[in-house]
């Protein structure tokens, strides 16, 4: 039987996060109208899209049934590596950027090889890699941040984080990169054979193998993509904040996984949604911004963040269950 | 026993704001810190409170993490939300004070519009003082802090009781910030 438009809309996994986002925006705006001011939206977007780049790649990886805890350390390490190579005069900025990206992809390749060839769970492999990469960043810099002041005259810095102000809204180039990455990853996941392979690898990897899906190759490439996006985001962030700190990115892995799960991607793999992840990214970051805007005391911040995440997960779970039962 | 050095410095920061008439009775001061609960921040808040409490000046300490991007993001959010009521800022750590320019630029606050005082052991902050974003910042010589104390201990063990304090830091303003900028740049 043909389903109505409303029924089809309700059946979408993105409906839950969309309802949550609208609810969140409405409540925060009602309490403090300045929440929706151009100034605040501009602030909130700035950092959101940098984390969002990692979340998009993580969505694909989690859909394939794996996840990567080393993204936060790669975020910090890649920027440190690029700026060290550049500041010491070893390489021009463009080459240093490519070297840092290549190193990140190598880290992802090692993660992928250990998970697929050695059969070690990705949780353990990437937890170990998190420590190796973070430790390397700290040891090589002796804990000191790399200055990025010389980025101002570099064309690459302009391409990555140049900004433009439209109607009082300051938008960085990273917004463009995020939008482009979201469109491409959405297209890959929903419209291509590779997208089918990713979902099949996460759904039932043995059945997928039996049907000729190169499960191991898919996962290795996704680990490399995940690391590359973390490095890209870290480098963008380091240019914007004018600092490359070896501690940067600490805890980002959990925040990114939360964004992906809130968006509707299944933690155990097999089903993922980029649109949902984009909504999840905005839900988490606007929530963080919103509770400051409504005047929650500074040191009570984490109580509210944790409480709202729990409440959202319960709400999300209930909406999801209603989808499944078709009510 | 005298107050810990962090409390002593922070008392000086609060006193600086009062002496320069940058804050008055009943005002509100924002105190961003990287790690709330860490000894340095707690002692500094306690030190500043000895000056602020008698004047009914209120303050709020906010958690900003040790991650530069997150620091700027959280500080920009807080400043956007509370810009009207913040009469001064005391940066309880180097990372937060060294982020003031980037936060002000992001939120659209002009240099000098909100008085700022706090830690200044980084070239980020020396530059902020030179460019008018931070009114005064604290330099503490890490080597002198250690070996001067050892000298005192050596004197004490030799039977000469230390009857004086040794100050191994300075609250610098624009006119002397160049000196500390040079030291911190390795010059």
Confirm whether A51 is domain-assigned. Answer: yes
Rounded CA-CA distance B91/A179 in Å is 36
Rounded CA-CA distance A147/B123 in Å is 10
Domain hosting A57: range is 38-272
Rounded CA-CA distance B117/B90 in Å is 5
Measured between its terminal Cα atoms, the distance across chain A in Å is 16
Confirm whether A183 is domain-assigned. Answer: yes
Residues of A within 8 A of B61 (CB-CB) are: 298-299
Interface of B with A in 127-186 (CB under 8 A): none
Contact A40 B108 (CB under 8 A): no
Count of domains observed in chain A: 1
Residue-wise pLDDT for A278-303, tens only, equals: 999 999 889 888 988 888 887 777 78
Residue-wise pLDDT for B60-114, tens only, equals: 999 998 888 889 999 999 999 999 999 999 999 999 999 999 999 989 899 999 9
Contacts of A52 (CB under 8 A, 6+ apart): A178, A182, A259, A278, A281
Q: Up-side HSE of residue A162: CA atoms within 13 Å toward CB?
A: 8
Q: Say whether residue B1 is in contact with chain A using an 8 A CB cutoff.
A: no
The answer to whether the CB of B177 falls within 8 A of the CB of B137 is yes
Handedness of CA A232, A235, A237, A240 (dihedral sign): negative
- Closest Cα in chain A, distance from residue B176 (Å): 22
Interface of A with B in 209-268 (CB under 8 A): 237, 240-243, 245, 247-251
What's this model's pTM, rounded to 2 decimal places?
0.87
**Which residues does residue B119 pair with via DSSP β-bridges, in sequence order?**
B138
Interface of A with B in 71-130 (CB under 8 A): none
Contact A295 B81 (CB under 8 A): yes
Q: Say whether residue B73 is in contact with chain A using an 8 A CB cutoff.
A: yes
Domains, chain B: 5-184 (3.40.50.2300)
The answer to whether the CB of B89 falls within 8 A of the CB of B48 is no
Which pLDDT tens digits describe chain B residue by residue (187 residues)? 457 888 989 999 999 999 999 999 999 999 999 998 899 999 999 999 999 999 999 999 999 988 888 899 999 999 999 999 999 999 999 999 999 999 999 898 999 999 999 999 999 999 999 999 999 999 988 788 888 888 888 999 999 988 888 888 899 999 999 999 998 887 6
Confirm whether A43 is domain-assigned. Answer: yes
Helix (H) or strand (E) holding B60: strand B58-63
In this prediction the ipTM stands at 0.81
The answer to whether the CB of A285 falls within 8 A of the CB of A48 is yes
Confirm whether A30 is domain-assigned. Answer: no
Rounded CA-CA distance A292/A288 in Å is 7
Rounded CA-CA distance A26/A15 in Å is 16
Confirm whether A77 is domain-assigned. Answer: yes
């Amino acid at each position: 039987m043909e389903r109505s438009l409303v029924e089809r809309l309700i059946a979408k996994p993105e409906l839950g996060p969309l309802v949550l986002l609208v609810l969140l925006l409405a409540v925060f705006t009602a309490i403090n109208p300045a929440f929706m001011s151009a100034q605040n939206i501009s602030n909130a977007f700035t950092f959101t899209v940098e984390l969002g780049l990692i979340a998009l790649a993580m969505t694909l990886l989690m859909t394939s049934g794996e996840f990567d805890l080393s993204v936060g350390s790669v975020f910090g390490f890649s920027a440190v590596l690029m700026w060290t190579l550049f500041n010491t005069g070893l390489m021009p900025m463009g080459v240093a950027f490519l070297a840092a990206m290549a190193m990140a992809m190598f880290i992802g390749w090692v993660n992928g090889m250990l998970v697929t060839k050695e059969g070690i769970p990705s949780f353990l492999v990437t937890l170990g890699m998190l420590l190796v990469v973070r430790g390397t960043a700290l040891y090589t810099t002796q804990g000191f941040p790399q200055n990025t002041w010389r980025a101002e005259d570099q064309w690459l810095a302009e391409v990555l984080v140049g900004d433009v102000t439209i109607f009082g809204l300051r938008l960085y180039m990273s917004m463009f990169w995020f939008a482009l990455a979201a469109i491409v990853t959405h297209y890959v996941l929903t419209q291509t054979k590779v997208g089918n392979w990713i979902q099949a690898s996460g759904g039932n990897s043995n059945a997928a193998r039996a049907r000729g899906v190169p499960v191991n190759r898919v996962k290795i490439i996704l680990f490399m993509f995940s690391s590359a996006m973390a490095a890209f985001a870290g480098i963008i962030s380091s240019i914007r904040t004018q600092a490359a700190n070896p501690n940067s990115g600490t805890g980002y892995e959990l925040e990114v996984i939360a964004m992906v799960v809130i968006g509707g991607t299944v933690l155990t793999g097999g089903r993922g949604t980029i649109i949902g992840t984009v909504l999840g990214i905005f839900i988490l970051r606007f929530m963080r911004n919103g509770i400051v805007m409504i005047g929650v005391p500074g040191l009570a911040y984490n109580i509210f963040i944790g409480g709202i995440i729990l409440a959202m997960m319960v709400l999300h779970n209930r909406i999801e269950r209603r989808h499944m039962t078709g009510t | 026993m005298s107050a810990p050095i962090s409390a002593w410095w922070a008392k000086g920061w609060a006193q600086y704001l009062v002496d320069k008439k940058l804050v008055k009775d009943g005002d509100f001061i924002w105190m961003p810190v990287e790690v709330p609960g860490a000894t340095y921040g707690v002692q500094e808040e306690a030190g500043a409170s000895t000056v602020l409490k008698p004047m009914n000046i209120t303050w709020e300490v906010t958690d900003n993490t040790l991650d530069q991007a997150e620091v700027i993001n959280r500080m920009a959010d807080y400043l956007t939300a509370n810009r009207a009521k913040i009469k001064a800022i005391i940066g309880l750590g180097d990372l937060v004070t060294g982020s003031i320019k980037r936060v002000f630029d992001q939120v659209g606050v002009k240099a000098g519009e909100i008085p700022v005082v706090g830690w200044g052991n980084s070239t980020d902050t020396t530059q902020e003082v030179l460019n008018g974003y931070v009114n005064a910042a604290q330099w503490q010589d890490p080597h002198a802090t250690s070996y001067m104390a050892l000298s005192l201990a050596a004197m004490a063990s030799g039977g000469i009781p230390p009857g004086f304090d040794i100050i191994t830091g300075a609250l610098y303003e624009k006119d002397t910030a160049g000196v500390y900028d040079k030291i911190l740049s390795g010059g």
